[in-house]
Structure 1
Amino acid sequence: MTRVVVVGASGFIGSHSARALAERPGVVVTAASRTPVARSAGTDGAESTIATVAVDLLDPASLAGAFVGADVVVHAASYVGKDAALSESTNIDGTANLVAAAHDAGVTRIVYVSTTSVYGTGPHRGVRVGDVPPRPESAASSDRHAAEGLVRDAGGVVLRPNLVYGAGDRWFVPALAKLTAGLGATIDSGRARISVVSADDLGRLVAAVALHPDVEKGSVLHAAAPEPVAIAQIHEALSAALGIPVPSRTVTVEQARAVLVPAAASEHQLALVTLDHWYDAEPAWNLAGDAPETAFSLTEAHKEWYRRALS
């Protein structure tokens, strides 16, 4: 048996990671979170096999108790807002506490889910790990990069997704739909190509990295679909699946900026959907296998979630 504790298991990425791990034979999963872990129908009843425990990244005693007997800790608890003090305490101090507790409990591997935002604003095209030096531009991105260093120094592994979609997504598709509806137009005809990954596939990548015996200690992997997708293709997929109309007109990036920044979007948010941001994830899929054939594909569960989220 391999025992895995998923910290942040009540969150978007953590919940999918816990479920993917629980579906693996011979894996015992504990979902650790500061807030209650929601129960939902998992594939083949996987949810019913997941134990739960209350933890707080800023309470080392709660972490120590949760990690006893664990082989792997998955760290999927990050702060992504604008409060600089909360970002530092959660992302840096909290990660330091997690790393120390894991060490004290004899945990052999930590997997940290970070973000490609540590690279800063693009354009980025086909970037492999090491091609672009980190240049975080926000407190949250800077602190998450610092957290990466803590994990890697302890021999852990870092996964960097770009944009994540699927059931539970409150940031990517809802924001894109709101931005487009507010403009009544697409931006630059939706030419920008970006790396995306469904939360289900990201969970599979987390599980693969957590359980694979040959992942290099201290390594970094990009977590994305194998190929990038154009923003225009996402608009078309949302239209076909959810009936969201694709505007017939387009505006330039400069025109969009004049309307959106800072009223409805930040420069960073605008850059995410107007500049290329795509990253080479082949090393991660070499570990996981069974890579998705389509970068952006909505399952029935995704559609149900977005119908509610966008209503």
Structure 2
Amino acid sequence: MNRPRILVTGASGFIGGAVLPLLRSAGAHVRVLAHRRSVTPGSYVEIVDGDLTDPASLRGICRDVDVVLHLASYIGQEEERCVAVNVEGTRHLVEEAERAGVAKFVQLSTAAVYGNGPFRALREGDVEPSPVSPTSRSRLHGEQFVLRAGGAVLRPYLVYGTGDRWVMPALLRMVRALSSGLPERGTAMLSLTEVGSLAASLAHMAVRTPPRRAAGVFHACPSRPVSLRELVVAAHRQLGFPLVAGEQSFERAREELVSAGCDGHLLDLFGVDHWFDASRLETVGGHAPETGLSAGLAAHAAWYREQLL
């Protein structure tokens, strides 16, 4: 069987770094679009220079490519940069892929495009997205180019693991500030995805899933959500995070966070239901993330302890 030829963007990032070895072990010939961060070349890896914000630099990068796996994005509050990378950069890449006749386009996005919630067992198409940040607004906009071209968009919610510079550090800031207790007994249900499990889903979609089935929006989350209290207890046991005792109202918890110098938006992320049904990915894509929280944190505990504590 011929090796699939896959163009990967964002290969040096948090999730891309976990995907690349899986593509190589699957026998794919990988072409990596490199911009600012270096990627170590290896067997079946080809490095090409380019910039998503410069369409001229992308000319020819999709030639002889079977699949585009678009993992690159800008995450931050700079609106102009969000638009340049997440919207226009995606549009440029889709246009180049269409020009080259690429059969399959897979994009990594985020369930943050839905907004603040609450969401319980939300299926794709149940609600209209309502993003609240420049990053999520621009990523939703960029998705539209992929979907109109017949591609697939994967939306995880919170992704954790080696290389995570946001999710568990944000949780640590929050539990350190909430000395009076978790909001509403910590009952919020959350979809958390371990990075290796997400990488496996992305690699499976890129390598194994037929193009006609790799189309539309897919939630990329485990089937079982975890409560905020479960998350805090697991982080205490596995990573040494403080264990928060007691409970308080949502409003009082927000006041406590703000008075401690933290962003009150942390409660919107961790303290409100964000539970996304991923059965469509299992049915159509063939491989949904399933690593449980305890096993996932254990696998990355040494890295987190070194980085955070």
**Do the two structures share a fold, i.e. TM-score over 0.5?**
yes
- Distance in structure 1 (CA, Å) of the matches to 2:288 and 2:254: 39
Q: Give the aligned partner of residue 18 of structure 1.
A: 20
The aligned residue for residue 281 of structure 2 is: 284
User: Who is 1:31 aligned against?
Assistant: 32
Q: Tell me which moved more, 272-281 or 55-64.
A: 55-64
Residue equivalent to 1:264? 262
How far has the Cα of 1:67 moved from its partner?
A: 2.0
Is 1:252–2:254 an aligned residue pair?
no
In the alignment, which of 108, 116, 119 is matched to residue 113 of structure 1?
A: 108
Using the alignment, how far apart are the partners of 1:289 and 1:95 within structure 2?
Answer: 25
User: Alpha carbons of 1:290 and 1:102: their partners in 2 closer, same or farther (altered >3 Å)?
Assistant: closer
Aligned partner of 1:5 in structure 2 is: 7
What TM-score, normalized to structure 1?
A: 0.90
Contact 2:178-2:244 at 8 Å conserved across structures = no
- Distance in 2 separating the partners of 1:139 and 1:299: 29
* Aligned mates of 2:131, 2:256 — CA distance in 1: 25
The reply on whether 1:208 has 2:204 as its aligned counterpart is: yes
Unaligned runs of 5+ in 2: none
Contact 2:189 2:226 survives alignment (8 Å):
yes
Structure 1 residue ranges, 4+ long, deviating more than 6 angstroms after superposition: none
**Contact (CA 8 Å) 1:189, 1:232: kept in 2 or not?**
yes
Provide the secondary structure at the position in 1 that maps to 2:61: helix
TM-score (norm 2): 0.90
Per-residue CA deviations over 1:176-199 (Å, capped at 9, x if unaligned) read 011111223433332111111111
Listed as ranges, the matches of 1:216-235 within 5 Å are: 216=213, 218-235=215-232
Q: CA deviation at 1:270?
A: 1.6
Q: Which residue of 1 aligns with 2:170?
A: 175
Measured against aligned partners, the alpha-carbon deviations of 1:92-126 in whole angstroms (never above 9, x if no partner) come to 11111111111222211111111111111111000
Q: Is the Cα contact below 8 Å between 2:238 and 2:298 reproduced in 1?
A: no
Q: Match for 2:303 among 278, 302, 305?
A: 305
Aligned equivalents of 2:88, 2:288: Cα separation in 1: 36
* Cα distance in 2, alignment partners of residues 290 and 111 from structure 1: 15
Change (3 A) 1:86 1:245: same
Give the 3 Å change call, closer, same or farther, for CA 276–215 of structure 1 in structure 2. Answer: farther
SS of 1:248's equivalent?
Answer: coil
Q: How far 1:233 moved relative to its partner?
A: 1.3
Aligned residue pairs total 303
Deviation string, structure 1 residues 121-159 (Cα, Å, up to 9, x no partner): 111000110111111122221211111111111111111
Structure 1 residues 290 and 145: alpha-carbon distance in aligned structure 2, compared to 1, 3 A threshold? closer
* Separation (CA, whole Å) in 1 of partners of 2:34 and 2:294: 29
Aligned to 2:159: 164
Q: CA RMSD in A?
A: 2.2
Q: Distance in 1 between matches of 2:201 and 2:71?
A: 13
Question: C-alpha distance in 2, partners of 1:33/1:270?
Answer: 36
